[in-house]
Amino acid sequence: MRKFKAPLAIIFALTGLFLLVTTAAGEEGWIRQKPRVIVTTDGEIDDQCSMVRFLLCANEFDVEGIVLSSSQYHWRGHDWAGDDWVNHYLDAYAEVYPNLVKHDPAYPAPEYLRERTAVGNVDNEGEMDKVTPGSELIVRVLLDRSDPRPVWLQAWGGPNTIARALKTIEEKYPKRMAEVANKIRLFLIWEQDSTYQAYIQPHWGKYKILTIISDQFEAIAYRWKNIVPVEFQRYFESDWMREHILENHGPLCSLYKAHENGEFRSEGDSPAFLHNIATGLRNMDSPDWGGWGGRYVRVRDNLWLDPVPEAGYVYPDGRWYTYTAWGRAMTRKGATSATNELYREYFKPLWRWVEAIQNDFAARADWCVKSYDEANHPPVVSLAHPEDLRAKPGAMVRLSAEGTSDPDGDELTYRWWQYEEADTYEGTVEIENAESQQAWFRVPPDARRGQTIHVVCEVKDSGAPPLTRYRRVVVKIE
């Protein structure tokens, strides 16, 4: 039985902003707006799987557009899902929407999403000559001065429709290019056509648009069995998928294209929007901080790629995709996480979150069919101090998650841990009392001025399925 039901999360959702509110003394309230996102998709079967999860996560974003595009794998007339395939998913979303809003009123209305769904450049791989309804939609969003927030442009397929939109702006509004570029954030699942190299980089590269190009997506794509460690694979196996997603969870989840035996197939495009779910990890502050969508390193200018653990590795010039990306190349050589430690390490920034990601998926599937009291909802993690701290070598840093709560009244477990890969300090710290609401550590004496230590407060509730949220504390050495 639920002990109590806190209405705060629902009240805050009504504002249309993303809020993680902290009421504990000593910390200013942490208020962040929802990220704005535009999805471009080539309709591959794993795009369709990702679309189910995306719609279940739509309360986390301001969805500005869902645009059909092409890729090296799919275009109109070649393995094409049809110009209207998204509509079937929106129809199913409309059926479960009345129940979803019981869990969070921030879910967008089906009509709102339909108005922002359009067909882009789909005639051929890399086609960007035609102005299309999809490219025009992107142009309108980028030129709109009424909302200054950044726009995350996600390429689940090729970036050609994005490229066409940018070309229109260059041709018609050249004086606004710098202004528009300042709003853009790109997240590409590989470069699935040549338009980033052939057009976007040559014409817009001078503006240093933040660009993430992911190869880590393979951790939850078709080859997940070769990548995800055995201890996490149960979250992709047929028993788990049938119980939590595929059966008795309404018409949207019933569209999910698992394998015939119920086993997880692929969601290679989901990292593009998992990156935009504000879980408290603050990964949108910088791609190398890491979060549910993976962790990335700056390679050149403002281009961020997967961190390759191989000593002396030199990133290739040109496209980062099926023939050049390190992880894909290693897969072709027969590597698996069980046989190659570097391979395991390469994909760890994404597979480390599998349990939390899949349990979040399961909870959202429940929201399609269950009442608020019957379902589980994530904890709200608070800090009793700022999330950015300063400390000198040898100083004691005291950490507190006082004020953390759970909307369902579930018991909470705490784990404070050092996110070493995100640190600029190269050593380790020993966190005392790490499984309690209060914890502390001493800054190592060899820490140098300007270095950072990242500590994550991970909070899991006791609901079914158990849900996890976080707060990241970044300690800068003085």
Contact 373, 245 (CB under 8 A): no
> Hey, which bits of 236-344 come out as E strands?
297-300, 303-305
- DSSP H helices, 72-119, are 85-103, 110-115
141-to-15, 66, 277 alpha-carbon distances in Å: 21, 12, 21
**pLDDT computed for residue 275 by the predictor:** 98
**pLDDT computed for residue 17 by the predictor:** 38
Cis check: omega of the bond before 444, within 30 degrees of 0: no
Q: Which amino acid is at 140?
A: R
**pLDDT computed for residue 14 by the predictor:** 33
Nearest residue to 195 via CA among 169, 151, 161, 171: 161
Nearest residue to 39 via CA among 128, 154, 184, 181: 154
430-to-348, 420, 423, 439, 443 alpha-carbon distances in Å: 22, 12, 14, 10, 9
Contact 124, 165 (CB under 8 A): no
Q: What's 76's DSSP letter?
A: T
> One digit per residue, pLDDT tens: the chain, 478 residues?
333 334 333 333 333 333 333 333 334 334 568 999 999 999 999 999 999 999 999 999 999 999 999 999 999 999 999 999 999 999 999 999 999 999 999 999 999 999 999 999 999 999 999 999 999 999 999 999 999 999 999 999 999 999 999 999 999 999 999 999 999 999 999 999 999 999 999 999 999 999 999 999 999 999 999 999 999 999 999 999 999 999 999 999 999 999 999 999 999 999 999 999 999 999 999 999 999 999 999 999 999 999 999 999 999 999 999 999 999 999 999 999 999 999 999 999 999 999 999 999 999 999 999 999 999 999 999 999 999 999 999 999 999 999 999 999 999 999 999 999 999 999 999 999 999 999 999 999 999 999 999 999 999 999 999 999 999 999 999 9
Residues 6+ apart with CB under 8 A from 171: none
Say which residue the tokens 């018609």 belong to.
Answer: 172
**pLDDT computed for residue 110 by the predictor:** 98
- DSSP H helices, 338-463, are 341-351, 354-367
Phi, psi of 228 (to 5 degrees): -70, 130
Looking at the DSSP bridge assignments, the partners of residue 67 are: 40, 118
**pLDDT computed for residue 27 by the predictor:** 40
Two tokens, residue 58: 């739509």
Contact 224, 331 (CB under 8 A): no
DSSP string across 206-236: GG--EEEEESGGGGGSTTHHHHS-GGGGGGT
Two tokens, residue 456: 């994550």
Measure the CA–CA gap between 287 and 306, rounded to whole angstroms.
10
CA 431 to chain CA centroid, Å, is 28
167-to-65, 129, 155, 198, 211 alpha-carbon distances in Å: 18, 9, 16, 12, 17
**pLDDT computed for residue 32 by the predictor:** 64
Contact 26, 385 (CB under 8 A): yes
**pLDDT computed for residue 383 by the predictor:** 98
Q: What's 254's DSSP letter?
A: H
Measure the CA–CA gap between 10 and 68, rounded to whole angstroms.
32
Nearest residue to 287 via CA among 350, 381, 198, 195: 350
pLDDT tens by residue, 100-120: 999 999 999 999 999 999 999
Contact 478, 394 (CB under 8 A): no
Q: Which amino acid is at 417?
A: W
**pLDDT computed for residue 389 by the predictor:** 98
Instruction: Give the chain's domains with CATH numbers.
Output: 34-277+295-304 (3.90.245.10), 378-477 (2.60.40.10)
